[in-house]
Structure formats: structure tokens, C-alpha cells
Chains A and B, each alone.
Chain A
Amino acid sequence: AAGVIQSPRHLIKEKRETATLKCYPIPRHDTVYWYQQGPGQDPQFLISFYEKMQSDKGSIPDRFSAQQFSDYHSELNMSSLELGDSALYFCASSPYSYNSPLHFGNGTRLTVT
């Protein structure tokens, strides 16, 4: 079965650089979520989109922005990167149906040096 696809799998950037992470949801899933997971920590909700509109916002820094495109894929844009941004970034998708589980991709590991 098709899963959530994230790219790249690994990304190394220097401080103050920018990064763009991409997410391709499961076909027919119209809702996308972004989560950040630090080492040894639980995933933290960043932001979500439904039908290309931002639907909810969590602990996303102002330096980050995201959008969902007409084909439902999503991109997370990160600017002025800081060492503390080093983490795993997961995208998840679901159909817009209350109480259906989120399906996660395998993440992008971002390392900021």
C-alpha cells in the first residue's frame, strides 16, 4: 500500500541557512500534518493543512512556514536555521474524517551544524 513519502531523508545545513522539506501524502488523504521530534523525545505538533488551507498551528517557530499545494503535497520551509532545529521532521496524512488515525512518513533527519 502507498505510504507517506518524505524527501529528503537526510539533510545537513549550516546555521542561518534555509531548508525545504517535502511531503507527499497517501493518495486521497487531504489533510497533512507536520511534527518535530528531538532526540529521545516524543513528536511535537507543528502545523496542519486541510484542502490547502492551514487548519491548526502548534509549536512552530516564526522562522518556519509551510503550505499545501493543489496536488495535496506539502512543504515545510525553514529559515535562519539554528543548532536546536536539528531533529527528525515527520509528515503525516489522514482523510478528513474525525477519529481516523494519522499515517506517518519515515521522516527527514535535519542536522544543523
Chain B
Amino acid sequence: GESVGLHLPTLSVQEGDNSIINCAYSNSASDYFIWYKQESGKGPQFIIDIRSNMDKRQGQRVTVLLNKTVKHLSLQIAATQPGDSAVYFCAENMVPNSGGSNYKLTFGKGTLLTVNP
């Protein structure tokens, strides 16, 4: 569905703590999910992705968990650092119609992560 909102959910953590950012996605047919990080004045930056045939995937300091039963996605950041401060978006890839592009990424509502030193 469409996201509406001038007020971003926010998460404030202390440096060194672990962060968990949650996202509810809309389409049970979506089969590919991506987390993006967006810093002020920059474009979304790819963090990690996961396919629907997996329920967990780990990267460097980040873990994505996928719960298809409740259409929920989470991003865990270990040992959060001040440089992690940004807006985080989850995005789902809707299965394309025949002849359509391989992508029609729909972004969820972002979460503003603030890391306090």
C-alpha cells in the first residue's frame, strides 16, 4: 500500500547497543525484500536483501529476519555506531506482471535511527 506520513517513526539508541528496526510489508505475493539506508541529502543505499525462501540472512553487523506468516521484516544492527544514524527503509518487490519490469519496488515507511555517542 502507499505510505503516508510526515512523521517518521524514530528509534534512539546508545552507541554500542544493538538496534532493531521493524517493517510490515503489504503484499503476501512479494518474494524479495531489501533494506536501504538513507542519509540526509543522499539516495537510498543498499544494506542487505533477502528472498522469500529464507527467514534469516546475515551481513556485516546486520541481520535481516523475515516472517512471512505475519508479513514482517526486521533489520538488526549490532554494535550500533554514530555513522549508522540515518533513515532506514524496507522495500518489497512485487511479483511483476507478465511483460512488466523485474522491479516495482514498494518502499515502506522509513524509520529514523539516531545513535547517541
Contacts and interface: CB of A to CB of B under 8 A. Distances in A.
A29 B54 CA distance: 27
Contacts of B110: 42
Interface in B56-84: none
Interface string B89-106: 100010010001111111
Contact of B89 (A42, A48, A58, A101): A42
A72 interface: no
Contacts of A110: none
Nearest to A6: B43
Interface residues of A, number: 29
Nearest to A58: B104
Majority SS at the chain B contact face: loop
Given A40-B8, A41-B5, A55 B89 contact: no
A17 interface: no
B43 A104 contact: yes
Interface in A10-36: 31, 33
A48 B101 contact: yes
A57 to B, nearest CB: 9
B49 interface: yes
Interface of A: 4, 31, 33, 39-45, 48, 50, 55-56, 58, 90, 92, 94, 96-99, 101-107
